[in-house]
């Protein structure tokens, strides 16, 4: 199962303060904007999303179809195929992609400890 690029999506209290902190760790702004209340920060292949007032808690995020530069991958597993595999393995989903659709879609599930996992396909 090809899940795509991985990042951690952090719910932050102060976007500017968090940006400054992660810049000190060597991260640079890759995408997003202060005006839209989120920043995607990158250090090599490591990516962190900083999100202000968009969701509660932190989320493990995978983007099927994208590499670490947000470029579309030639070969990837579509979110609907991944969803079928997850459901067939007995995992319970919090939200699901439209199985009859194509292109962008997302699903959510949580691990045994309650950590939320988002699979968010943009292509």
Q: Is the pTM of this model over 0.75?
A: yes
Enclosing domain of residue 78: 5-121
Beta strands in the chain (DSSP E): 5-12, 28-33, 38-43, 46-52, 59-63, 105-110, 116-121
CATH of the domain at 42: 3.10.180.10
pLDDT at 23: 98
Q: How many domains does the chain have?
A: 1
Tell me the pLDDT band of 41, cut-offs 50, 70 and 90: very high
pLDDT for 95: 97
Q: Which of 55, 60, 81, 78 is nearest to 6 (CA)?
A: 60
């Amino acid at each position: 199962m090809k899940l795509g690029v991985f990042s951690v999506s952090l719910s932050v209290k102060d976007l500017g303060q968090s940006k400054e902190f992660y810049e000190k760790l060597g991260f640079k702004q890759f995408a997003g904007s202060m005006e839209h209340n989120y920043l995607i920060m990158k250090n090599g292949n490591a990516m962190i999303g900083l999100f202000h007032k968009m969701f509660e808690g932190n989320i493990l995020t995978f983007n099927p179809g994208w590499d670490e530069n947000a470029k579309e991958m030639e070969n990837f597993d579509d979110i609907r195929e991944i969803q079928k595999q997850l459901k067939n393995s007995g995992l319970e989903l919090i939200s699901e992609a439209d199985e009859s659709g194509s292109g962008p879609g997302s699903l959510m599930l949580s691990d045994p400890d309650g950590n939320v996992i988002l699979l968010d396909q943009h292509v």
